[in-house]
Structures are given as structure tokens and as C-alpha cells.
Structure 1
Amino acid sequence: MSTMKLSVVCLLFCVVWRSSGSAHPKPACRYPPSQWCRSLEIAIACNVEKQCMEVNATRPNQAVPPVSVILYYESLCPDCRVFITQQLFPTWTMLQDIMTVTLVPYGNAKEIPSANSPFTCQHGEPECRGNMIEACIIHLTGHTAFQIIYCMESSVNVVNAAQPCLQLYAPSVSWSSVDSCWKGGLGYQLMHRNAVMTRALRPVHTHVPWLTVNGVKHAALDKEMSSLFYFVCQLYKVRMVFLVTGTPI
């Protein structure tokens, strides 16, 4: 057995032991530990589906669509910053193979006709600037955007951190392109798009952070906001079992 495979088996044993107080699967399992995560059928037989996902011992089934998470938030909202840095980003870091994250910086902002700015924000002009900068970064940097946003939201000053965070995670993207975006027409277009997405929410959002999973605001989601990792794992497991058996659980 290779060193990497052995380490995965050891880690799986640790997770099973921590979860159930025992390193032994249920009696119906006739497979050695090295095979527990080889397939969904074996994982179910050995009662280790959740543990296999936690240690990422196998690549996700490509036929199972990832769990889609959309966060509607404001750049300077204290609760949003806590949720991004302590829940959403750590969960995505561990489960990015089975989940996608879309960030919509707008929240409780309002579109208004004005000569100076078409938007007003709950935490004033700095938040409108932060929202627009983050919208531009998301548009310009693609797959590295979430790391940059996390870097900004975990900093003391969100707006001032934008340039160094961009240089750290997307050095090929110039700050001048972000600067011209948020100060020009593109930034306003991106914010209008976010405004349209936010206004289209059903039910209408009443606070931020506002999270939808697979396009739905689940009734239990506010409770699960404190345990997003478990929530995403459970939804993905349901999809896997449905794919194999045709029966939702």
C-alpha cells in the first residue's frame, strides 16, 4: 500500500473513531478499510459515506452536480464578514470539489437616480465602494475571486485591503483594471446586475447575509448557517444516493 493511500486510511480511521467512538463499521460491511471509499455502494454498506466525503478520499462522482451556494451580502456588514471568514470560505476550502459558491455583493443597497452615484448603501459610501470593487474583482479574476474576497473581508480595512489582496492571489490582473472598472460604467453595470438578482429573490430577502442553496432558501437554513459544512455534505449525499438508487432519502 502506498504512503498516500495508507495516510488516507489512517485519517479515515481517525474520523470514524471520532464520529462514532469506534473504528469498526457495521456488520454488513465485508470490506477492508482500504476499500471503504472506493465506491458509494461500499461506503453505504460500511456506514462511512460522511467520513469518506470529509477526508476527500475519492474524487466526487462527476455525474452528481455540485451543491450550488449563493451568498447575498454587503462588503462592510459585520455579520456578513463573520459568515464569509468563519463559515463559507472554510467550508468551500474543504468541499470545493462538491460545491460552487457565487458571491453577490449588494445586500440592502438601493438603486436611486442620482448625479453622483446611482446607489446608496446601508453602511454609507465606503460600503458602496467596497461592493463595487468586489463586484469588479469577481468579474475580472474568475476562479481566484473568492480567495481575494476572503482576504479583503478578513482584513481590518476591507477597501484598503483590495489592492494587496489582488496582488497576492491574482498577480496577473492589474489593479488599474479593477480601478477603472469600479470608477467607470462597467462597475455600475455589475452592481445593477447584482441589484436585479437581489430584488428577484423569493422569498424577498429580509437581512444579510442571505444564503440560498441549490436556488432555495431552505426553512432550516438559518439554523444550519452555523454548520454549513454538515449541511452541504448532507445535500450532496442525498444527490449521490438518489443517483445510485433512484430513491431520495
Structure 2
Amino acid sequence: CSVEKMNVLLPLLVVGSACLTASSSSCPYPPGRWCSSMESAVQCGVLKQCLESDLFRSRRAADPVQVSLYYESLCPGCRYFLTMELFPTWLLLHDYMSVTLVPFGNAQEKPDGQKFTFECQHGEQECLGNMMETCLLNMTDMAFPIIYCMESSADVTGSLESCIKLKAPELSTDKVMSCVKGDLGNQLMHQNALKTKALNPPHNYVPWVTINGVHTEDLQTKAMNSLFTLVCDMYKQDPKPPECGGPSQRHHRSYCHTQ
């Protein structure tokens, strides 16, 4: 039984005593969206499993750990942290943490009439990647999975269309590129520049991580070494999340039996 590896995308998707399977002819959603709504669950034939596993029920913590990443799209260290630490931790602890992505990093902006021009540390392709990811963050709640897909590929900017088709097929690539090339993208990137410049202390490298709005070298080191452990340690509500070793309300077994 294979669920396109799911990029580790959510053990939550395989629940109960049977493997979730969806008809490719009737299901327009990738596996990560099967339980995202009643409509998608019905179309993909997994309504019973989604209901049984409580995947429709929001468990969002009242006071989640806030993790913000200030980065640039082609920075090797940024790509490693986003794909190997931040995204996997979010998959496991998304009910107990919030993630803010600010693609700008060490770029520079210059006023140009009513707009701005941008120069990026790794050249024009990085500026393009920053803009693509900025527009995605403004256009879809599936931005993070799409950005993960882009950042984990060999060609960040060249994978935009394929990653959109994989993670959010209802989203138009042309609409994203319209934002990238237009006034909206320019203004959104300017806001990223302002957010980055407002950091206190000012950033002097990327990836730059803040936890609950705070950056220290100790927090940065812990985040880079094991963000999962840091989020678990920083989560102050009781009980602790089951994923962090707290009590579990129910146990889901994911078996695919022989036929």
C-alpha cells in the first residue's frame, strides 16, 4: 500500500485498521488534503476513516509555540533547516505550534518610484524564488507544503508548477505568476523586507529563527539541532502533546493487510 510516500506527509492519513485509498478518477486532491474538508473526504472515498480518526476535529492549542523563519530561497542552510527540521516538526506538532515564513533573508531593497527593486545574495533566481514563495503564502493555506516541495527539489523555481499540481491542484500557477510579476508581489516582498529589518536583535545570518518572537543564540542552536525537542520543551500547557511523550487519547494503528 503506497500513498505516494506522502513525503512523510502525515501518518494521520493512514488510520484505523485499513489503508486509506482514493480513486484517482474521482479524487482531485493529493493525500494531504483528503481529510481537509467534508467535501474532499467524500470525493476521495475516505469519509468514514476521517470521521473515525477525528481528523475533522481541530485540536489547535490555545497557546501554540510560535516559530518564525527568516530565510532566502536558495540559501543551502535555509533549505536544509526548512526541509529537515521545520517541516517535519510541523507535520508532527502542527496542533501545538504556528509557523511564520518570511522569504527575504540577506536581500537588499531599493525604492524605484512607487515600487521596489530587490537584489538577492544568490542572484536573480533567488529573488524569483523568494517572490514565488511570498505570493504562495498570500494565496493558499497549502503554501507551506508547496514551499517544502520546492525547497526539497533540485530546481527551486523550476518546480513551482509541479509542486502546485502535487500539493494544491486547484491553485492556478498562472495566478501565482501574476502575483510574482505584478504590484501585489512587489508590495508583499516589501513587507517581508520591513519585517526582516525590524528584527531585534538584527539578523546577521540566515536561517534566522525566532521562538515566540524571541531570538537568542541558545534558541537558534537548539532549533538547528532539534526543533522538535525545542517545541516540545517550549510548549507549556498540560497535558503535553502525545507526540512529545504526553498521554495519548487514542492509538491509531496503520496496517495494510494482505488480500
Per the TM superposition, whether the score is higher than 0.5 is yes
Aligned ranges for residues 18-29 of structure 1 at < 5 Å? Answer: none
Letter in 2 for 1:200: A
Aligned ranges for residues 31-70 of structure 1 at < 5 Å? Answer: 64-70=62-68
Letter in 2 for 1:213: I
2:165 is matched with 167
Aligned ranges for residues 217-232 of structure 1 at < 5 Å? Answer: 217-224=215-222, 225-232=224-231
Letter in 2 for 1:189: Q
Q: Once superposed, what is the RMSD of the aligned Cα atoms?
A: 2.4
State the distance in 2 between where 1:102 and 1:222 align.
16
Change (3 A) 1:147 1:63: closer
State the distance in 1 between where 2:121 and 2:208 align.
15
Instruction: Measure how far apart 1:172 and its partner are.
Output: 1.1
Q: Deviations over 1:57-99 (max 9, x none)?
A: xx99866411111100000000000001111011111111100
Q: Does 1:120 align with 2:119?
A: yes
Q: Deviations over 1:91-114 (max 9, x none)?
A: 111111100111100000111135
State the distance in 2 between where 1:192 and 1:68 align.
23
State the distance in 1 between where 2:163 and 2:61 align.
35
Letter in 2 for 1:141: T
Instruction: Measure how far apart 1:177 and its partner are.
Output: 0.6
Unaligned runs of 5+ residues in structure 2 are 1-14, 17-56, 240-259
Aligned ranges for residues 77-226 of structure 1 at < 5 Å? Answer: 77-114=75-112, 118-142=117-141, 144-224=142-222, 225-226=224-225
Specify the SS of the correspondent of 1:102: strand
State the distance in 2 between where 1:130 and 1:62 align.
30
Give 1 or 2: higher helix fraction.
Answer: 1
TM-score normalised according to structure 1 size? 0.69
State the distance in 2 between where 1:174 and 1:61 align.
30
Question: How many corresponding residue pairs?
Answer: 185
Runs of 4+ in 1 over 2 A off after TM superposition: 59-64, 113-117, 238-241
Q: Deviations over 1:102-155 (max 9, x none)?
A: 11000001111358961100001110011001100111112x111000000000
Counterpart contact for 1:71–1:211, Cα < 8 Å: yes
Letter in 2 for 1:166: I
Bigger radius of gyration among the two? 1
TM-score normalised according to structure 2 size? 0.67
State the distance in 2 between where 1:182 and 1:62 align.
32
Change (3 A) 1:78 1:222: same
Q: Deviations over 1:27-52 (max 9, x none)?
A: xxxxxxxxxxxxxxxxxxxxxxxxxx
Q: Deviations over 1:166-211 (max 9, x none)?
A: 1111111101110100000011011001001000000000100001
State the distance in 2 between where 1:87 and 1:195 align.
24
Letter in 2 for 1:130: G
State the distance in 2 between where 1:205 and 1:240 align.
33
State the distance in 1 between where 2:196 and 2:182 align.
22
Change (3 A) 1:62 1:163: closer
Letter in 2 for 1:209: P
